[in-house]
């Protein structure tokens, strides 16, 4: 989901970024959560408006304005201190970083979703082909190193209609190298915080004719 960009509110106690799991950013491969990031907690979507400490409570918190205002508890204030502002009354609350779903790139979502899905008939045929090669070479115990990697690449290359809706996608990743022949891509109900990343993604796929980012 791509909505209006949130109002910038500077955290009072913490001005860094967090990884999308549960702590200060340490792994460069993890997607950072910033003020303005879209996140998902359970089945609820929201926008991060604050990252920092709350007086009287231990650790780091995310201040979130929820898409569904009924999920909220306040307007961004605790014990008389305003940590962030919500655009709708009562739409905000605080959550721990480890409560949100980890963010993904589109490439990772495709890799995980389609990499784990394979028709049993196709898998059985591939195993039969490998065994025939081994018999022809007279080496039944040889290990076919790299065969699976080649097969996976061929499988992704063939993808034309791709659906990774509601997969916590917030970045493009290297989709050009993964599925260069994609013509249709469903990215609805994901976590893009603006159009720049969507433009980056679509520019990598020259054959793309249909893109759903609702």
Lowest-pLDDT choice from 129-138, 187-196, 204-213:
129-138
Average pLDDT, the chain: 81
For 125, the domain range is: 104-212
Q: What is the mean pLDDT of residues 56-66?
A: 96
Q: What is the number of domains present in the chain?
A: 2
My answer on whether 136 and 38 are in the same domain is no
Strand 210-212 with 184-186, pairing = parallel
In terms of domains, do 108 and 208 share one? yes
**Where does a domain end: 75, 99, 123?**
99
Checking if the pLDDT of 113 tops 80, the result is yes
Same domain, 70 and 128: no
Average pLDDT over residues 46-66: 96
How far, in Å, are 21, 42, 135 from residue 32 at the CA level?
9, 19, 50
Q: Tell whether the model's pLDDT for residue 60 goes beyond 70.
A: yes
| Helix ranges, the chain (H) | 106-115, 120-137, 147-157, 175-178, 195-203
Give the mean model confidence (pLDDT) for residues 94-107: 96
CATH number, domain with residue 67: 2.30.30.190
């Amino acid at each position: 989901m791509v909505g209006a960009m949130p109002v910038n509110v500077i955290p009072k106690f913490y001005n860094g970024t967090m990884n999308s799991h549960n702590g200060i950013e340490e792994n460069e491969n993890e997607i950072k959560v910033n003020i303005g990031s879209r996140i998902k907690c359970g089945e609820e979507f929201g926008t991060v408006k604050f990252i920092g400490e709350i007086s009287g409570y231990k650790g780091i918190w995310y201040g979130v304005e929820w898409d569904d205002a009924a999920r909220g508890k306040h307007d961004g204030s605790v014990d008389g201190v305003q940590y962030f502002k919500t655009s709708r009354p009562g739409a905000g609350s605080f959550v721990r970083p480890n409560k949100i779903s980890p963010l993904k790139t589109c490439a990772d979502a495709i890799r995980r979703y389609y990499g784990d899905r394979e028709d049993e008939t196709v898998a059985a045929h591939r195993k039969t082909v490998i065994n025939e090669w081994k018999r022809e070479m007279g080496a039944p115990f040889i290990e076919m190193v790299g065969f699976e990697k080649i097969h996976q690449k061929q499988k992704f290359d063939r993808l034309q209609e791709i659906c990774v809706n509601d997969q916590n996608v917030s970045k493009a990743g290297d989709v050009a190298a993964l599925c260069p022949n994609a013509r249709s891509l469903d990215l609805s109900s994901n976590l893009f915080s603006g159009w720049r990343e969507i433009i980056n993604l679509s520019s990598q796929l020259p054959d793309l004719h249909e893109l759903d980012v609702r």
